[in-house]
Structure 1
Amino acid sequence: MTPPHRAPSTGQLLTLAEVLAELDVPKSTFFRWKATGKAPRTIKYPNGSLRIRRRDLDAWLAAHEEECAA
């Protein structure tokens, strides 16, 4: 029997706590962003907990980079 296929590291699922720590924002800010459609994409489990794919967070961060001032 072959082991189950593991997703590449870009498919890693992060907990909400991990994302909040990385972004250095409180939960209230993240949920405000989520309510206004400004947060990274989330996955909601049946128990209500949220996960964020590493690749989605990285793409979201890249989309919010500011250009360097010359």
Structure 2
Amino acid sequence: MARDTRTKATELLTVRQVLDELGGISRRTFYRWRELRIAPACIRLPNGELRVRRDVLDEWLEERAEGAAP
């Protein structure tokens, strides 16, 4: 069971998967957020594609929840 949790936490999401999880925001909005440094941290693969770790996205979303502690 611990392995499943660890695998899920380190899952690498594509930009498309992140966009879908965020309610279908546009790719342009996501890249604008990256320019403004407000997007979740990304990993750039050797082929130039971006990935976002599942745990990083979950933490990023939690930080933006209304009523979250500063």
- The interval holding the TM-score normalised by the smaller chain is 0.7 to 0.9
What's the % identity of the aligned pairs? 42
The answer to whether the aligner puts 1:31 opposite 2:31 as a matched pair is: yes
* Structure with more of its chain in helix, by fraction: 2
Gaps of 5+ in 2: none
Q: Could you tell me how far 1:16 is from its partner in structure 2?
A: 0.7
SS where residue 8 of structure 1 aligns? helix
Report the AA paired with residue 15 of structure 1.
Answer: T
TM-score, normalised to structure 1's length?
0.82
Deviations 1:23-52 (A, max 9, x none): 121000000000110000100011110000
TM-score, normalised to structure 2's length?
0.82
Give the match for residue 10 of structure 1. Answer: 9
Looking at structure 2, the residues matched to 65 and 19 of structure 1 have their Cα atoms a distance apart, in angstroms, of 17
Looking at structure 1, the residues matched to 60 and 49 of structure 2 have their Cα atoms a distance apart, in angstroms, of 20
Report the AA paired with residue 51 of structure 2.
Answer: R
SS where residue 40 of structure 1 aligns? coil
Gaps of 5+ in 1: 1-5
Q: Aligned pair count?
A: 63
Detail structure 1 runs of 4+ shifted over 4 Å in the superposition.
none
| Aligned CA-pair RMSD | 1.8
Which has more radius of gyration? 1
